[in-house]
C-alpha cells in the first residue's frame, strides 16, 4: 500500500448514494470515520446502521480523514461545497451532473467519483460491475481515485465533466424515463385486473437484448412496423391526454427512425 | 396423452414470432409439418432452417394438422384469416392486439396463443418463463391450448381479448418505448465519445429493480426530486426539438406523480 492511499473517509451526505457508498467502502476494509447530513434523521439513520459517528454541523467535520466524499443531491451540492473548506485534503463529489470545478473553492485537491447506477435505499446493489467514472484536478489525485475505484469495481472510466454531464442526461432516458414507463404499463394492465408481474419477463428481456444487440436492431412493435391501425386503436384506448400525447410522439419518432414517412 | 392432444402443426407466417415458435414447438417434440408465408424468401428461410416443407399458397396448406397457428403481422392477420378456411380444425393466432373473433370465419374451433415477449430473429429466447396468454372459443379448446402451453412454459394465463389488448398496449410502453429510449441514451453519450456499454449495468439494474420493487418505489432522478436546475440544463443540452419536448413532458408527468406542483 502506498503512503498516499486512502484508508479513512468522511461521508458528507446520507441519501441513497451515500448509503450505498458507505456499505461499499466498509466492504473494501476502509473506515468511514464520520457521516454528515444536515438532516439529523438521515445522518443518525445511516450512522447507526453503519456503526459510525455523525454530525449535522459542517464545522464539526473531522479534519483527519484521507478523503471527503460529498454525496448530496445535485440541488444541495454547490451550497455544501461553498460552506465546507478542506484545505489540501482530497475532496470528491459523486454527482453526474456537476463539473469538477464545483469543488474549486473547497480544496486544493479535488475529484469526482460518480457511480453510474440507480440507487434506492433498501435495495442492495453489487458494486462489482458498476462503471465508476472518475476525474481529478491532477494526475496524482486521479491515480489515487483510480486505485480506490478499482477496489470497488472492474469498470473504472476516465470521464471528464462534459462527458459526465452527457452520461447523466443519457441515464435519465435509459433509467428514469424507462422506469416511469414501467409504471405506466403497470397501470394500464392493472385496469383490467392483470397483475404487473405478467410484464416482468418482457421488461427483463428488453433490457437483456441490448446487452448484446444494438437498440436499433432490438426494436420491435407497431411503430417500427408502421402499423397505423394498431397505433390508432392504442391511442383510442388511452384515456389520459398527456399519456396519449406521449404515445403519439414517441411512435412518430420510432416511425421516422425506421424511415416510414409521417402521414398525419 | 389424450386422443385430442396436439402433435402436428402448420405454421402460417414466418416472421420473428413464427420463427421462435417453430423452434419451441420442435423442442417439445411436436412436428411442424408445413410453413406458409406469402413471401417465398421468409417461407423458405424458416423452412430450411427448421427442415420442413413450405408453401406460399394458402390453398395448398396441408389439411391434416392438429393445429394451425396464424403468426403474421397484426396488419395482415385479418386478411389471412379471411382467406384461410380450416373447417373444424383448431386454429389459433398469436396476436396480442386482435380479438379471438378475428378467427370466427376461419374455423369452428379457435383460440389465441399469445407469448408476451419481444422477439428478434437471431436471438434465442427461453420460452420457459414467458407468460403464454391463452383464450379459446370453448372450454375443450381452452384445455387443449393449456396443455400445449404448459409444455412450453410454467406461466400460462387465461386472458380474454379485452385484457390481452391492454397487455399489448402496456407492452408498447414497457418494451418498445423503453428500447427506443435506450437508443436515445446511446446517441447522447456517443456524441461525446463514450461507448454505449457504459449504460449496460444501469439498464439492467433498472429492469431488475422492478422484478422486486414497485416502479413508483424504484423511481429516481431529477424529475422525481423536482430538481428544476438540473432539468433546465438537461433541456438546454438537447438540440433535437422533438427529443427536448419528450424530456419536458415526461419530466412533468414524473413531477406530478410525485406531487410537485407544475410551475411553468
Tell me the ipTM for this assembly: 0.94
DSSP string computed for A194-252? --GGGGHHHHHHHHHHHHHS-HHHH--SHHHHT-HHHHHHHHHH---HHHHHHHHHHHH
What is the band of A121 on the pLDDT scale with cuts at 50, 70, 90? Answer: confident
pLDDT confidence of residue B1: 41
C-alpha cell of residue B131:
407468460
Asked if B102 and B86 count as a contact pair (C-beta separation under 8 A), the reply is no
pLDDT at A66 over 90: yes
State whether A131 and B175 contact (CB < 8 Å): no
> Three-state SS across chain B?
CCCCCCCEEEEECCCHHHHHHHHHHHHCCCEEEEEECCCHHHHHHHHHHHCCCEECCHHHCCCCCCEEEECCCHHHHHHHHHHCCCCCCEEEECCCCCCHHHHCCCCCEEEEEEECCCCCCCCCCCHHHCCEEEEECCHHHHHHHHHHHHCCCCCEEECCHHHHHHHHHHHHHHHHHHHHHHHHHHHHHHCCCCCHHHHHHHHHHHHHHHHHCCHHHHCCCHHHHCCHHHHHHHHHHCCCHHHHHHHHHHHHHHHHHCCCCCCC
- Residues pairing with B9 in the sheet: B32, B67
Give the Cα-Cα-Cα angle B65, B70, B73 (nearest 5 degrees).
160
Burial class of residue A45, CB neighbours in 10 A (0-12, 13-18, 19+): middle
pLDDT confidence of residue A203: 98
- Looking at the partner chain, which of A166, A253, A257 has a beta carbon nearest the beta carbon of B188? A166
pLDDT confidence of residue A263: 47
pLDDT confidence of residue A4: 65
Q: What are phi and psi of A10, to 5 degrees?
A: -110, 130
C-alpha cell of residue A138:
491532477
What's the rounded Cα separation, in Å, for the pair B135 and B110?
Answer: 9
Q: In the predicted model, what is the mean pLDDT of residues A152-174?
A: 97
- Would an 8 Å CB–CB cutoff place A260 in contact with chain B? no
CA A127 to each of CA A20, A117, A160, B208: distance values in angstroms, whole numbers, following the listed order? 9, 9, 21, 15
Name the nearest CA neighbour of A11 among A3, A2, A51.
Answer: A51
pLDDT confidence of residue A185: 98
pLDDT confidence of residue A1: 42
Asked if B111 and B92 count as a contact pair (C-beta separation under 8 A), the reply is yes
pLDDT confidence of residue A264: 42
State whether B169 and A188 contact (CB < 8 Å): yes
pTM of the model: 0.94
Please write the tens of the pLDDT for every residue from A221-235. Answer: 999 999 999 999 999
C-alpha cell of residue A38:
444536515
Q: Which residues contact B41 (CB under 8 A, 6 or more apart)?
A: none
> Which residue of chain B comes nearest to A75, CA vs CA?
B227
Q: What's chain B's average pLDDT?
A: 94
What's the rounded Cα separation, in Å, for the pair B144 and B147?
Answer: 5
What's the rounded Cα separation, in Å, for the pair B18 and B1?
Answer: 25
State whether A173 and B181 contact (CB < 8 Å): yes
What is the band of A261 on the pLDDT scale with cuts at 50, 70, 90? Answer: low
pLDDT confidence of residue A262: 53
- Stretches where chain B sits below pLDDT 70 are 1-4, 261-264
How large is the angle between the packed helices B241-257 and A178-190, nearest 10 degrees? 60
Q: Which residues contact A57 (CB under 8 A, 6 or more apart)?
A: A36
State whether B74 and A222 contact (CB < 8 Å): yes
- Would an 8 Å CB–CB cutoff place B62 in contact with chain A? no
- Would an 8 Å CB–CB cutoff place B211 in contact with chain A? yes
What's the rounded Cα separation, in Å, for the pair A141 and A164?
Answer: 18
- Would an 8 Å CB–CB cutoff place A121 in contact with chain B? no
DSSP string computed for chain A? --TT---EEEEE--SHHHHHHHHHHHHTT-EEEEEE-SSHHHHHHHHHHHT--EES-GGG--TT-SEEEE---HHHHHHHHHH---TTSEEEE--SSS-GGGGTTT-SEEEEEEE-S---TTS---GGG--EEEEESSHHHHHHHHHHHHTT-S-EEE--HHHHHHHHHHHIIIIIIHHHHHHHHHHHHHTTT--GGGGHHHHHHHHHHHHHS-HHHH--SHHHHT-HHHHHHHHHH---HHHHHHHHHHHHHHHHHTTPPP--
Cβ atoms within 10 Å of A59's Cβ, excluding its own:
8
Q: In the predicted model, what is the mean pLDDT of residues A164-175?
A: 98
Name the nearest CA neighbour of A174 among B175, B242, B178, B237.
Answer: B178
pLDDT at A95 over 50: yes
Residues of B in contact with A163 (CB under 8 A): 189, 192-194
> Which residue of chain A comes nearest to B177, CA vs CA?
A250
Residue of A203, A204, A258 to mutate when probing chain B, most B C-beta within 10 A: A203
Residue of A126, A155, A190, A201 to mutate when probing chain B, most B C-beta within 10 A: A201
State whether B117 and A207 contact (CB < 8 Å): no
> Which residue of chain B comes nearest to A161, CA vs CA?
B192
Amino acid at each position: 500500500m502506498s503512503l498516499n492511499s486512502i484508508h479513512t473517509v468522511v461521508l458528507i451526505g446520507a441519501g441513497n448514494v451515500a448509503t450505498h457508498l458507505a456499505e461499499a467502502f466498509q466492504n473494501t476494509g476502509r473506515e468511514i470515520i464520520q457521516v454528515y447530513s444536515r438532516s439529523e434523521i438521515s445522518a443518525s439513520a445511516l450512522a447507526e446502521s453503519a456503526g459510525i459517528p455523525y454530525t449535522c454541523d459542517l464545522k464539526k467535520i473531522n479534519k483527519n480523514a484521507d478523503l471527503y466524499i460529498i454525496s448530496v443531491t445535485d440541488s444541495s451540492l454547490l451550497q455544501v461545497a461553498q460552506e465546507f473548506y478542506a484545505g489540501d485534503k482530497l475532496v470528491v463529489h459523486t454527482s453526474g451532473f456537476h463539473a469538477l470545478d464545483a469543488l474549486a473553492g473547497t480544496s486544493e485537491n479535488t475529484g469526482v467519483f460518480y457511480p453510474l447506477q440507480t440507487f434506492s435505499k433498501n435495495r442492495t446493489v453489487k458494486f462489482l460491475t458498476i462503471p465508476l467514472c472518475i476525474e481529478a484536478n491532477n494526475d496524482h489525485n486521479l491515480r489515487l481515485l483510480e486505485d480506490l475505484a478499482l477496489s470497488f469495481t472492474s469498470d473504472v472510466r476516465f470521464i471528464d465533466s462534459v462527458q459526465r454531464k452527457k452520461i447523466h442526461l443519457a441515464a435519465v432516458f435509459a433509467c428514469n424515463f424507462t422506469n416511469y414507463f414501467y409504471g405506466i404499463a403497470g397501470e394500464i394492465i392493472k385496469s383490467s385486473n392483470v397483475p404487473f408481474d405478467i410484464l416482468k419477463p418482457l421488461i427483463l428481456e428488453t433490457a437483456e437484448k441490448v446487452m448484446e444487440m444494438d437498440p436499433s436492431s432490438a426494436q420491435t412493435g407497431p411503430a417500427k412496423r408502421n402499423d397505423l391501425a394498431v397505433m390508432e386503436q392504442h391511442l383510442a384506448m388511452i384515456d389520459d391526454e398527456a399519456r396519449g400525447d406521449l404515445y403519439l410522439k414517441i411512435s412518430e419518432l420510432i416511425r421516422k427512425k425506421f424511415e416510414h414517412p409521417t402521414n398525419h
